[in-house]
Every structure is written in structure tokens, then in C-alpha cells.
Amino acid sequence: MSSLAVVTLVGVVAMAGLLWFFLRTRSRDLVTGIMEKRRAGSRIVSAADYVEGRERIPVALALTADTFYYENPDLQASFELARVDEIEYDTELSVGRSVDEGHRALRLRSHGATFEFVLPSAEAKKWEATLPARRIGQPAARVS
């Protein structure tokens, strides 16, 4: 392999790494913008990662009196709290993998589907105080 080919290959790999870093950073900035828009009408707003399989997608979480939102520039989703069957806070994901140290998983179950979010532990405590854990059969969550 010629030295020009090696330099080209290294340049392409470096450029791919920089592009990945830029897109990840830009995504976090856009999530922060969504959080600011939601803050005025919400009880609590935090940045988190939505866990889909092995992928972790940065999202803004927001909670109003009757709705849980998770959003990023490519995803606008929400649940009516009355439709959430279970709310859990845990140090493991539902597939048994531990979350990173200093983080906790927020798990919502709605009509047989599980949705998981990873938050810093301090933020998870705030969420748990505002949106307490509950099991199926208990009354719908009341937002404090």
C-alpha cells in the first residue's frame, strides 16, 4: 500500500470521527433547545437517553399535569399519564444490562410496550419525587 493511500485512509477515518462527534454534539444542542421551549409549561424537564435496543438516543423529557413527553429533532412522542400502566426507577435496563454509574433508568410500561430512559441519578430523584413509581393496578400517577 502506498503512502498516499495510507494518508488518504487515515484522513477519511479522521473525517468520519469528526463528523460523528459534530453530529452528536449538535444533537445535544438541539435537545437543549427543546428543553427550553418545554420548561415554561412543564413540572419537570430533563435531558436523557431513550434506550432502543443497544442504541441510546438523546431526548428531552418533559412532564405536564397529564402528559409525559420525550422529544428530539427527529422524534416527537408523548404518553397521556392515564395510559401509563407502570412507572419504575432502576439501576438496570429491562434487558438486564446495568446503566452507567451515576445514572438510573426510568421505565414506563403502556399497554404491553416498555419505554426506557437513562438519566443522571440526581435528575432521576427529581423525577421520582414528581412522578412516583407505581405498579399495574395502582391508581394513575398524580403529578405533584
Partners of 53 in the beta sheet? none
pLDDT band at 19 (very low <50, low <70, confident <90, very high): low
User: How confident is the model over 64-118, as pLDDT tens digits?
Assistant: 999 999 999 888 999 899 999 999 999 999 888 889 999 999 999 998 899 999 9
Distance (Å, whole) CA 137 – CA 142 = 14
Q: What is the pLDDT of residue 35?
A: 82
Structural domains for the chain: 3-130 (2.30.29.30)
Q: How many CB atoms lie within 10 A of CB 102?
A: 8
Indicate the Cα dihedral angle 48, 121, 105, 26, nearest 10°. 20
User: How confident is the model over 30-40, as pLDDT tens digits?
Assistant: 778 778 888 88
